[in-house]
Structure 1
Amino acid sequence: MSPEPKTRDVRRWRRYLAAERAEAAIYRDLASRRTGEEREILLALAAAEKRHEDHWLRLLGDRTGRPLPTDPRTSLLGLLARRFGSVFVLALAQRAESRSPYLDDTDATDTMAADEAVHEEVVRALATRGRQRLSGTFRAAVFGANDGLVSNLALVLGMSAAGLPTAVVLLTGVAGLLAGALSMAAGEYVSVRSQLELENAAAHGPIPTDSVTNLDVDENELALVYRARGMSTREADVHAAEVLAGTPAQAVATAPAHNPIGSALGAAGSSFVFFASGAIIPVLPYLFGAEGLTAVFIAAGLVGVALLLTGSIVGLLSGASPLKRALRQLAIGYGAAAATYLLGLLFGVSVG
C-alpha cells in the first residue's frame, strides 16, 4: 500500500490538473477555428494534455476535490482562444508551454516532460505559420503607426520646450503629421512600384510553342532554359525530356506563375493612414486646448500607452516576450522625445 501523500503534494497535483484541463480546452477552442492539418495537430495536442490530466487524476484518486481555478495567464489564454483564436494566442501558448515544471517534478513522468518540450516546438511552428499568413498590411500598420508616434511626439515636445505658443506647436504637429505621412506614402509607392517592375522584368516568360516543337531532340537546348532558371543539370535534362515527349501545351505551361505583390497606390494609401494614425496621438492634447506642461504630460502619456501596445504586438509577432518588447519600444520612443525636448529647452525662444 502506497503511503498517504502530503498535503502540499496534493495541492500541487490539483494545480497541475487544473492547468492541464485549461490547456486542453484552449487547444480544442483553437482547433474549432481551424481546418485540415492544423485542426488535427491542435486536437492531438489537446489529447496529449488529456493524458497528462489522467495521470494527475490517478495520483489524486478520491482527493481530486472541487476544480481549482487555473493561473491568470492560462485563464487569459483561454479567454483569447474563445474570442479570437489568432496567431497571438498561439504565440502566448508557445511561451506557456516553455514554462512547464514537469522536468523538475519527480511526480511527473519523463514522457510528460518530453511531451511538454515537444509541445513548445509544435506550437512554435503553428505560430510561425500564422505569422507568415499575416498580411504585410498588418505589419505595415504596426510599424507605420509606431513611426508616427515617435517622430511626431519628438517634434511636438521639442517645439513645446522651445517656448513656442500652443497654436504654433499645434500647427507644427499637424505639419509633421502630413509631411511624415506623405513622405511614407511616397516612399512606399516608389518601393512597391520598383519591386513590381523588377518582378515583371525577372518573371519567366512562356516558351513559344513553335520553338519547342522544332527543337533538336538530341541537342536538348530546352534544358539550357531550365538550367538558367536555377535547375541542376540533371533536373533540367529530365524536365526538358518530359516536355519534349509531351504536348505543346505542356511546354507552354512550364513558365512559373507570377506572384503579384500588390498595388503601389494601395500600399501608399495604407502607409499614409498608418503613419497618420500614430502621428495624430501626440497632437490631440493641443487640439483640445491643453497648454504648457499639461499638454506635454498628456501627449507623453497617450503615446506611452500606444507604444506599449505596438511593442507588445511586435513581441508577439516575433515570438519574443511582449512585455520586454513593449518596454523597449517605450524606452526608444521616450528617449527620442526626451532628446528633442532637451534640445528645445537648450535653444528655447522668448515670445513676447
Structure 2
Amino acid sequence: MSHPTHSNQSKPTDEAPPGTGKPTPADLRRWRQYLADERAEAAVYRDLAQNRDGEERDILLALAEAEGRHEAHWLQLLGEHAGKPRPASFRSQLLGFLARHFGSVFVLALAQRAEGRSPYAKDPNATDAMAADEQIHEEVVRGLATRGRNRLAGTFRAAVFGANDGLVSNLSLVVGMAASGVASGVVLLSGIAGLLAGAMSMAAGEFVSVRSQRELLAATRPTQITLAAAPNLDLEHNELLLVYLARGMSREAAEHRVAERMGLLNCDCDPSLSLQPELPETEDEHEAVGTAWGAALSSFCFFASGAVVPILPFLFGLTGVPALAVAGVLVGLALLVTGGIVGLLSGTSPLSRGLRQLAIGLGAAAVTYVLGLAFGTVVG
C-alpha cells in the first residue's frame, strides 16, 4: 500500500472555514471524534491481525498503518487543542469488542459498512488522499469478508433459511389452525407436528441438495488420468489434445501442454503456455457448498429452534387471542434478528433486512389467518 506524499497527507494546522482565521469549537469537536475513531479502527485491525497469519495478517496490519496516518493528520490539525483522548463512537467501540472477543467475519462485515460510510469525502478538512484511502479500505475489507463468507456460506445458509422457515411456517400453521376455531390443545399438537415434520423435511432436503451439488462439482473436476495414460498414447492419433481443448484451452496452449505430457517439448516456447502442474485439489470442507451432514444438521436444529417459538405461548398455558399475540411478537423479534444477521453478513443494512424478514413473515401469517377464518366459517 503506497503512502501519500507529504503535500497530500496533511493540511496546514490553521486551515479553517473562511473568515474565522482559526478552528471553530465545532471543528475541534469533529476532529477529536475523527481522531478517536481512527485510533479505535486501527486497534480493530491490529486485533483482527492477531487471529490471522500470512497474507491476511499483512493486509490487516497495512490497514491499521493507514488508519495511523489518518490519526496523524487529525493530530496535526488539532495541535495544542488535541486534549485528552476521548471515547470512540459506539460503532467503533462495538467493533473493537467484537474483534477482541470473536475476530470473526461479523467484525469484517461491520468494518466494511463503517469504511463505506466514511464522511471524509465531504469534509473540507480531510485530504483527498484520506477520502480515497477509505474508499479503497472498503474494497479491501470486502475482499477479506468475502473469504470468511465463503467459508461459512453453505452451513450458514442452511441455518438461516431453516430458522426463518421454522418461524414463518409454524406461525402460519398455528395462526391458521387457531383462526379456524379448533381447541388450543389441537393448535399445540398441530404446532408440534409441524415442528417435527418440517425439521425432518428440511434436514433431508438439505442433505440431498448439498450432497448432490458436491457430487456434481466432483464430477466436473479434472482427474489425473492424463498423467498415467500419456506415455501409451498413439502419437499419430493423440487424443490427449482433445482433453485440453475440452477443458477450454486454446489450441496453441493445448498443443504445448500435450508436448509437455508426452516428453516431446524441446524448444524455446512462450513460458506463459507452461501451465502449473495438475495437482489434486485439496477439498475444503468449508467451501461455499458446505457439507451434506453439516447442512442437514444445521437445517434441522435451526428449523426446530425457529418452529418452537410460535408454540411457546401454548406450551406455557396461554390460549386464544393472547397466545396468538404473544406468538406474533416473539416471532417478529426473531425475524428481525435473523434478517439483521443476513444483512450484516451481506454488507447491507441490518435494519432494512430485518424489517423485510418481518414483513414477509407476518404477511404470510396474516394470509393464513384469513384463510383459517374462511375455512372455519365454511366448515362451521
Residues 152 and 203 of structure 1: CA distance in aligned 2, closer, same or farther (over 3 Å): same
Render the CA deviation track for 1:274-309: whole Å, top value 9, x for unaligned: 221211111111112111111111111111111111
How many Å separate the matches in 1 of 2:290 and 2:42?
A: 39
Q: Which residue of the other structure, out of 345, 350, 366, is the alignment partner of 1:317?
A: 345
Q: CA deviation at 1:113?
A: 1.3
Offset of 1:232 from its aligned partner? 2.4
**SS of 2:367's equivalent?**
helix
Identity of aligned residues (%): 65
For residues 229 and 54 of structure 2, the distance between their equivalents in structure 1, rounded to whole angstroms, comes to: 43
Tell me the residue number matched to 1:46: 64
- Distance in structure 2 (CA, Å) of the matches to 1:5 and 1:206: 69
Cα separation, 2, equivalents of 1:47 and 1:146: 41
Q: Secondary structure at the match of 1:282?
A: coil
Return the match for 1:110 from 128, 138, 146.
Answer: 128
Aligned position for 2:307: 279
Give the aligned partner of residue 96 of structure 2.
Answer: 78
2:172 equivalent among 154, 168, 177: 154
The aligned counterpart of 2:329 is: 301
What is the aligned counterpart of 1:22 among 26, 37, 40?
40
Q: Which moved more, 1:267-276 or 1:139-148?
A: 267-276
Unaligned runs of 5+ in 2: 1-12, 15-20, 265-276
Deviation at 1:343, TM superposition (A): 2.0
Structure 1 201/113 Cα, relative in aligned 2: closer, same or farther at 3 Å?
Answer: closer
Call closer, same or farther: CA 1:258–1:78 in 2, change over 3 Å.
closer
Distance in structure 2 (CA, Å) of the matches to 1:51 and 1:115: 10
* Equivalent residue letter for 1:118: I
The DSSP-based 3-state class of the residue aligned with 2:310 is: helix
Identify the residue that residue 232 of structure 1 maps to in structure 2: 250
In 1, the alpha carbon distance for the partners of 2:228 and 2:147 equals: 43
Task: Give the aligned length.
Answer: 346
Q: Is the 8 A contact 1:25 1:78 kept in 2?
A: yes
Moved more, 195-204 or 180-189: 195-204
Unaligned runs of 5+ in 1: 247-252
Alpha-carbon distance in structure 2 between the residues aligned to 1:94 and 1:208: 44
Q: Which amino acid is 2:151 matched to? A: R
Asked whether the equivalents of residues 220 and 237 of structure 1 are also in contact (C-alpha less than 8 Å), the reply is no
Report the residue type matching 2:43 in the other structure: A
Deviation at 1:152, TM superposition (A): 0.4
How far residue 255 of structure 1 moved from its aligned partner, in angstroms, is 7.5
Cα 1:107–1:285 shift into 2, 3 Å: same
Q: RMSD value over aligned CA atoms?
A: 2.6
Distance 1:181 1:143, change over 3 A: same
Give the match's secondary structure for 2:33: helix
- In structure 2, relative to structure 1, the CA distance for the partners of 1:27 and 1:300 (3 Å cut) is same
Aligned 8 A contact 2:155 2:290 in 1: no
The 2-side partners of 1:116 and 1:131 are apart by 22
Measured in 1, the distance between the counterparts of 2:132 and 2:279 equals 46
Structure 1 segments of 4+ aligned residues over 3 angstroms from their partners: 1-4, 192-206, 208-211, 216-220, 253-270, 349-352
Does the 8 Å contact 1:164/1:351 carry over to 2? no
Q: In 1, distance between residues paired with 2:149 and 2:155?
A: 12
Query: Do the aligned residues in 2 keep the contact of 1:206 with 1:254 (CA within 8 Å)?
Result: yes
Q: Does 1:345 align with 2:363?
A: no
Q: 1:177 offset after TM fit, Å?
A: 1.1
- 2:113 and 2:228 map into 1 onto residues whose CA distance is 58
Alpha-carbon distance in structure 1 between the residues aligned to 2:255 and 2:92: 56
Aligned to 1:175: 193
The equivalent of 1:68 in structure 2 is: 86
Closer, same or farther: CA 233–293 of 1 in aligned 2, 3 Å: same
Residue 318 of structure 2 is aligned to residue 290 of structure 1 = yes
The residue aligned with 1:250 is none
1:326 to 354, 366, 370: 354
CA distance in 2, matches of 1:308, 1:322: 9
